[in-house]
Structure 1
Amino acid sequence: MKTYLVGGAVRDKLLGLKVEDRDWLVVDGSSQEMLDKGFIQVGKRFPVFLHPETYEEYALARTEIKVDKGYQGFTFNTEDVRLVDDLKRRDLTINAMAIDEDGLLHDPFRGKKDIESRTLRHVSNAFCEDPLRVLRVARFAAKFHYLGFTIAPATQTLMRTIVANNELERLSSERIYQEFIKAFSTPNPEIFIQTLQNTGVFKHIVSPLAKLSYKDLSHIIHAKTQNCQQTDILFALLLFPLANEVLISKVLSQLRTPKVTQILCLETYRYHHFFSNIYAFSEQEILRTLKAANALRNTQSFDLLIYTFQYIYHEHPQALASITLSQNIVRALKEYNYIAEIKDLKNKKTIAKVVEKTQLTIIQQAIEKT
């Protein structure tokens, strides 16, 4: 039984990057041998094990046979599989290298050369068998854009072939959503979006995103330069330029995003006129809108909304001043002690009127201070 360090750990080591996770490949081994050594089996579709002490993943070498469309249309074999056979099934040459127990690099598909030339290149034509690889390559392009990596022309051609064969329609919303989340964690998620646009992906899935221009992506680009890592905000920044609630809702529905993401994306569009120019509204309108946006009850939701608008309007001083005023108003409304004014009142309608009158006064005073 031979063990090899494989995949991203090898790639990142050759790039001089910090190795975050280490994956291992076991050749000439069996499930029973792994269990006898105390490994914990976790793989359902093919044998993957956790090391009993480090909990790092160890997978038996395998080959794949395409039997149906989609990313799940494979059968697997783990009997008598050579190292090169396992590496051949991988997506990109830079991910198809291994280091053995003696520290020797095994690189049958010249991944090291592609690292040196900063090229994302498919390993073989079997690349076309898994539609998820289109999104994965786009994500790698976003991840390593800052290092100068580009996608090989031949690989781009295969990506378009997958798209043209209507393979992407077989991807689940969950898998597509996860690729978006991973892309948002890269330094340049706009490259992910542009790559999918250039390969025609959005004509088949999440179609509203096909309309986004490079200028439309400026909000998300700026946020990443400020090291924004909050996926809810990044989604809102991505969808805001669609400028259409129906289209925004369509994307959110297609990707089956979490509720908090949906709320933030829709509220960013619904309330951008208000928060960017609060001075144009009366005290009554301000109070009504803040309540509608749940600003007085849900601090976390309101903070996400404010951060989103700050990224959108970072080059507009007047809008930023308006956003700051809205924060000051909300803070004053929440900090004010209303008990003294309503302690002797029993009628709910009367209490509500007194509280609202006080709130309107607080808003007026906050505006006068600016």
Structure 2
Amino acid sequence: MKIYLVGGAVRDKLLGLEPRERDWVVVGGIPDELLARGYRPVGKDFPVFLHPETHEEYALARTERKTGPGYTGFACHAAPDVTLEEDLARRDLTINAIAEDENGELIDPFHGREDLKKGLLRHVSPAFVEDPVRILRIARFAARFAHYGFKVAHGTNALMREMVENGEVDALVPERVWKELERSLGEDRPTAFFKVLRGCGALTRLFPEIDALYGVPQPEQHHPEIDTGVHVMMVVEQACRLSDDPRVRFAALTHDLGKGTTPEEEWPSHKGHEQRSVKLVQQLCDRYKIPNDYRKLAVITAEYHTHVHRAFEIRPATLYKVLEATDAFRRPERFEQFLLACTADSRGRTGYEDNAFPQADFYRAARDAAGKIDAQTLVASGLQGAEIGTALREQRIAAIAACKESYDQGEQA
């Protein structure tokens, strides 16, 4: 029995990165051997064991055979006669098909080290087309390694396009699509994820709401980049600058989905796109079973981001309505996430990337001013029932008006 370090841990070491996790492959072993050494079985579809001390995964070397559509349609064969090279051959990318033995020697039958040097995401074998999840994984690796200059190899992109045309991506289960999207939103450059999907035709199949934004014009005086798809990717880039929270980045990604459904005769205007965006965000979240904390932030961002941009134009009563609708008083953390997404929206335009966004600060100040007035104080003053709610609203609006007047005077000074 021989044990090798494989996959991402070897790749990351060669890139000079700290491996996120370590996976091992066992060649020439049988389950009884590992069980006798105290390993705990966890694999359902093929033999995987957890080390008794490190709890890292050790998988018996295996081969795979396609038996049906989608990423679950595989039959696995794990046996002592499966070689290391056969196990590595079933992996997706050459940079993930490198093994390291106990002496630190590398086994690299598919020239992964060369592709690491070239910055190429290249498939190991034609069997790549059998698993549609690999399209999402390549897009995610592009997001993770974009700052190193990694690109998808032309031949691999051709295979991915073939998989899309053959309907393989249509067999992906919602939970897996969301898992890869969420992980990509946490990478250094999530926009590369969408660029790769668009490049092979998968974006329109998996995220048609996002794909529909490309080619849709916006008013040039407000959006020098003009194209809505370009704008949204710029907003995501700005969200990455502002926050490493994937929920903020998701809200940035989906805030303008409604512009993709604006009738062409109304271009470049997009009146009412906010409500259309809300509907599309809800549909997207339903389709991929996206968690509620992502959904709720994305919905309020889609519906109210233009209210933040117009902070100095709208009436105090309207601003108070936004604070109530976004639950700013009870959920200050989410309100801050909302303002970060709005800031990213403002800066996600050509020539605006480093501009200040005082509207967000004004909303914070208005929230703080209104928040100093609470219901308990009104109860102590003798108010009862509906009087409390009415007085709370009126006094909070008055506090916002005073805050606005202070801001206006500061601007004049």
CA distance in 2, matches of 1:339, 1:138: 52
Contact map agreement 1:2 1:29 (CA 8 A) in 2: yes
CA distance in 1, matches of 2:330, 2:338: 14
How far did 1:317 drift?
9.6
Look up the SS of the partner of 1:278 in the other structure.
coil
CA distance in 2, matches of 1:117, 1:325: 48
2:259 matched to 1:241? Answer: no
| TM-score (ref. length: structure 2) | 0.85
CA distance in 1, matches of 2:32, 2:367: 62
CA distance in 1, matches of 2:140, 2:315: 46
CA distance in 2, matches of 1:247, 1:109: 43
Closer/same/farther in 2, CA of residues 74 and 364 from structure 1, 3 Å limit: same
How far did 1:29 drift?
0.5
5+ long unaligned stretches in structure 1:
none
Question: Corresponding residue for 1:58?
Answer: 58
Question: What CA deviation, in whole Å up to 9, does each residue of 1:171-210 have, x standing for no partner?
Answer: 1111001111111122111111011011111232221121
Look up the SS of the partner of 1:280 in the other structure.
coil
Contact map agreement 1:166 1:204 (CA 8 A) in 2: no
CA distance in 2, matches of 1:86, 1:210: 37
CA distance in 2, matches of 1:274, 1:121: 45
How far did 1:65 drift?
0.9
5+ long unaligned stretches in structure 2:
214-228, 259-275, 408-413
CA distance in 2, matches of 1:115, 1:286: 52
Structure 1 segment 97-246 matched on structure 2, within 5 A: 97-212=98-213, 213-226=229-242, 228-243=243-258, 244-245=276-277, 246=279
Q: Which amino acid aligns with 1:69?
A: P
Q: Which amino acid aligns with 1:230?
A: D
Of residues 351, 356, 364, the one that matches 2:393 is: 356
Out of 144-153 and 210-219, give the one that drifted further: 210-219
Look up the SS of the partner of 2:256 in the other structure.
helix
Contact map agreement 1:345 1:351 (CA 8 A) in 2: no
How far did 1:331 drift?
1.1
Out of 217-226 and 158-167, give the one that drifted further: 217-226
Structure 1 segment 72-111 matched on structure 2, within 5 A: 72-79=72-79, 80-111=81-112
Residues matched between the structures, number:
369
Closer/same/farther in 2, CA of residues 106 and 41 from structure 1, 3 Å limit: same
Closer/same/farther in 2, CA of residues 8 and 261 from structure 1, 3 Å limit: same
How far did 1:105 drift?
0.9
How far did 1:248 drift?
2.7
How far did 1:104 drift?
1.5
CA distance in 2, matches of 1:127, 1:222: 34
Look up the SS of the partner of 1:16 in the other structure.
coil
Closer/same/farther in 2, CA of residues 329 and 156 from structure 1, 3 Å limit: same
How far did 1:153 drift?
0.9
2:329 matched to 1:296? Answer: yes
Look up the SS of the partner of 2:58 in the other structure.
strand
Of residues 313, 326, 342, the one that matches 1:309 is: 342
Question: Corresponding residue for 1:366?
Answer: 403
How far did 1:145 drift?
1.5
Question: Corresponding residue for 1:68?
Answer: 68
CA distance in 2, matches of 1:261, 1:91: 30
Contact map agreement 1:7 1:96 (CA 8 A) in 2: yes
Contact map agreement 2:375 2:388 (CA 8 A) in 1: no
Question: Corresponding residue for 2:4?
Answer: 4
CA distance in 2, matches of 1:341, 1:248: 39
Contact map agreement 2:39 2:52 (CA 8 A) in 1: yes
Contact map agreement 1:295 1:330 (CA 8 A) in 2: yes
2:19 matched to 1:19? Answer: yes
| TM-score (ref. length: structure 1) | 0.95
How far did 1:353 drift?
2.5
Contact map agreement 2:42 2:48 (CA 8 A) in 1: yes
Q: Which amino acid aligns with 1:322?
A: Q
